[in-house]
Amino acid sequence: MRDERLKAVDFFCSGGGMSYGLHESGIDVIAGIDIDLTCKETYEANIPNSKFIHADITKFNEEELLEHINIQRDDNELVFIGCSPCQFWTIINTDKEKSKKSKNLLSDFERFVNHYNPGYVVVENVPGILSKKEESGIEEFINNLENKGYVVKYKIVNLNNYGVPQSRRRFSLIASRVDDSGIFPTEENFKPVVKDFIGIENGFPKITAGHNDETDFIHTTAGLSKKNLERISKTSINGGTRSDWSDTELQLETYKKRKANSFKDTYGRMFWDKPAPTITTKFHSISNGRFGHPEENRALSLREGATLQTFPKNFVFKSSSIGTTARIIGNAVPPEYARRIGEAILKAKNK
């Protein structure tokens, strides 16, 4: 008898945010593929019975995948996920030269979709991939799916509407050639905020900047210079900004000639009663956004960032440095949103 349990292959899996969420929904994640070997140990420690495949997808042949896992073409129970690195298409002001080589990864993922023709295809990316739909390749990707008989549903979503305590806008796509009604998770009226996830009441004891937690809980924070400690201590609790000290000797040279509201979130604190900003790969640094703790004089800890990304507290990060761990956390698809994607697919399959 043919196994009718859904199974997934997670391309660009990183540390396993999407894979973990899909597994929690009841989908078997049989493999994750990523070029970044520093993700391997974290992925394998948290995703049961899934194989981490270290590969550069731009050089990885479709048939080579069969050397690692047993899958078939035209399998209605097969799910392909492609959450490719997206820095090139982000609206955030980043160095696009560094991310140029990753801007066409969607077309590489498309090769595998075309070859294996899975029952379901999932894509999650930055909103910029849709606003620049011709350049990013997403328009061609969608047209190709529809021409192959897939029903494609996509939109820009704020993950705060799906159980994630962040204002995190993303492009999401779910395509199926098995279900003809269009699959997508249902939005909720309840929108979680920072205090629902972190703070003493949620199991996060007070710590200071530079605290090193050697346990798997990794309630670890980056150190701060004397001047930055002064800055954060003079930033009002619960949502304060650098405007609290902009007229003092603490003002940064780079902002003295800029408008008062330029990059206003930099060095700011989060609000307890609002969603966190998007947790990026630099959330452990107060100089990279509104990543100051709502009331303690420090940036978010690694575990706080992971928790705001909806990783469970027992999710183990196996990387060797604060920067590497923060990158894995910030790059992840929040597992809670991934779980809801999986549940939506399973609901459609079992109806």
Catalytic residue IDs: 86
CA dist., res. 78 & res. 30, Å (int): 10
316: Cβ contacts below 8 Å, ≥ 6 apart: 42, 45, 46, 216
Encoded amino acid at 306, one letter: A
Beta bridge partners of 28: 7
**DSSP-derived secondary structure letter, 186:** P
Q: Cα dihedral angle (211, 268, 291, 98), rounded to 10 degrees? A: -120
Cα(296)–Cα(284) distance, rounded to whole angstroms?
Answer: 14
Phi/psi of residue 122, each to 5°? -125, 135
Contacts of 334 (CB under 8 A, 6+ apart): 17, 21, 159, 164, 166, 168, 309, 310, 311
DSSP sequence for 51-90: EEEE--TTT--GGGGGGTS---TT-TTEEEEE----GGG-
Rounded to a whole number of angstroms, the distance between the first and last alpha carbons of the chain is 21
DSSP letter at 10 equals: E
Cα–Cα distances in Å, from 177 out to 89, 110, 226, 267, 340?
28, 15, 58, 47, 20
* Residue showing tokens 């990060």: 317
- Whether 170 and 127 have beta carbons less than 8 Å apart is answered as yes
Q: Quick one: tokens of 131? A: 């606003």
